[in-house]
Structure 1
């Protein structure tokens, strides 16, 4: 027979072993919670459409209506900004926009899907809807960007109407006034908020974005800004979120603003934190003349959280869902 003391020790070991095995189920969960704290997510209403500036309200309405019709987020962001391209009162988007210093209106646009598909056109003339031409580049060509006469020829081959090249009455009046002194001194929040950028999230969490502009008023002929440059004026990633930019394109290009914001969100920043960091980086790259620069960023993540931030006061954006469509004033660095 086993010694009573040895028998007691054996039973004690069995008890300790069972206790440790039971505890082992709990300990990893506690360790994981401590090592990887989770920030509470503020889940927004879906679908959600965001677009820059006051013209974003009617653009959002058009996008939501298209989304109800087709359920396709790419259709929605294309149709939304087409509304602005059609707006004859808008002097910063579409063929009615303010011309370059040669008196010629040239347009830039881009569009991007959450799976990485994208297309853009730049320095294109006589095409009323450059965002639709950008979609053709994305869906029907092996390229990402087509510019100038090549973009116009693509438009012709795809059956786009080629418009008569003449300034709209409002643009012509402004251009004639500018020619008196011919000074290139853009006024922030007026001449250099040269874009409508739109980003959208559908009910299933799919993202897309678009961006279209007539560019800076009285720019040098041939100048291209951030709007058609994927990663500068627009970037979308279904795994993370989307961002778009508006303002002085050169300052935005220098920091790859929209791409930076999406990557910061990938690393765990909120859309608001990412937009604020992008503005700080932009300011650091443009020291010396920042008082004459306006740039604003708009972002959304997969959960429907929204962020917006600008260099100077004055930037606003439209936020639309199936139940509301409203303007929101962005915060700014200064």
Structure 2
């Protein structure tokens, strides 16, 4: 009996060692995967199509992924018809348009701003925070002061249409999130350049009619967006509180580090939320991801999330697979 137990223990230890070796090998494969030689841009929602166009011009000219994502998301930031990002964004419940954004480069540097008013391009302010200060995040009045000191102009970002919708909402003042309407409140973009480097950006005006001072996941490194140039990048959209609670973008990248594909990593990140939030009728979450080989993935909780993918000189809008089916 003693010999049988020893043999069983030996086999169990051998199997465990083999499994550990396999996991380490897959993780090493993810970290050492060769970078793609062709550029790729991926961004959230239909406003990702024009954003990708701007990013692609940078990438095709041999520019950096960092420049590409900044130039890309500046397009919806400046579009008054895009009411979930930047100029024209729906205000909070007190009528203030408050903006959040973050950016991250291939060296692990990051910058972000949150609760920023009066500045049309928060993503560019976030980049200056990254490049000109020892900090990662500036907030509120401090972020505004920094922007003005660096040449940004103070503007009224509340358009007539956004004001009209806010005035209508105030008649009842009943905040009720709607899946794929108020919750598609972001543009997130990831890019891989011809040099094999990754960068990401995320910018938003946040949930419509939110409490004054509310900040979502978009400016938080590891929640709204995260890049690791050895592995890949990920970004989120949707109900930010749940992305923050699970550090979703960081999770996706770490799962890719362990050997998961971008698609499988996005699916697992959504499942973490499913396990934590059994009643998700009013919660939408979507993730996009890209690895060093240029492979991409996307997944969401409810049907209705789409993303724009630009590769091989084609810019297409794709409906993401979802946990809940139509």
TM-score for both structures, normalised by structure 1: 0.86
2:270 matched to 1:272? Answer: no
Match of 1:190 in 2: 181
Q: CA deviation at 1:123?
A: 0.1
Q: CA–CA distance in 1 between the matches of 2:267 and 2:73?
A: 25
Cross-structure match for 1:263 = 254
Counterpart of 1:308? 298
Could you give the per-residue CA deviations for residues 241-268 of structure 1, whole angstroms, max 9, x where no partner exists?
0000000000110000000000000000
2:290 partner SS: strand
| Alpha-carbon separation, structure 1, partners of 2:87 and 2:157 | 9
Contact 1:184 1:218 in 2 (8 A): yes
Q: In structure 2, how many angstroms separate the alpha carbons of the residues matched to 1:45 and 1:85?
A: 30
Deviation at 1:104, TM superposition (A): 0.6
Aligned-residue Cα RMSD (Å) equals: 1.9
Question: 1:36: Cα distance to partner?
Answer: 5.3
Give 4+ residue runs of structure 1 displaced > 6 Å after superposition.
41-45
Q: Aligned runs of 1:58-69 on 2, under 5 Å?
A: 58-69=50-61
1:80 to 56, 60, 72: 72
How far off its partner does 1:99 sit?
0.2
In the other structure, the counterpart of 2:91 is 99
Q: Larger relative CO (CA 8 A, sep 6+): 1 or 2?
A: 2
Change in 2 beyond 3 A, CA 1:272/1:322:
closer
Which residue in 2 is equivalent to 1:285? 276
2:69 matches 1:113? no
Which of the pair has more CA radius of gyration? 1
Are 1:131 and 2:123 an aligned pair? yes
Are the counterparts in 2 of residues 43 and 305 from structure 1 also a CA contact under 8 Å? no
The 3-state SS of whatever aligns with 2:246 is coil
Q: Is 2:86–2:157's contact at 8 Å kept on the other side of the alignment?
A: no
Unaligned segments of structure 2, at least 5 residues: 1-20
Show the counterpart of 1:246.
237
Partners of 2:121 and 2:34 in 1: CA distance:
36
Q: 1:115: Cα distance to partner?
A: 1.5
> C-alpha displacement at 1:70, in angstroms?
5.8
Q: Which moved more, 1:61-70 or 1:116-125?
A: 61-70
**Change over 3 Å in CA distance of 1:330–1:166 after alignment to 2:** closer
The Cα shift of 1:66 comes to 2.3
Q: For residue 68 of structure 1, report the CA deviation from its aligned partner.
A: 3.4
TM-aligned CA deviation for residue 44 of structure 1: 6.7
- In the other structure, the counterpart of 1:209 is 200
Partner of 2:5: none
Q: Please give the alpha-carbon distance, in whole angstroms, between the structure 1 residues aligned to 2:79 and 2:219.
A: 20
5+ residue gaps, structure 1, are 1-31
Aligned mate of 2:318, from 316, 328, 334: 328
SS at 1:274's partner residue? Answer: helix
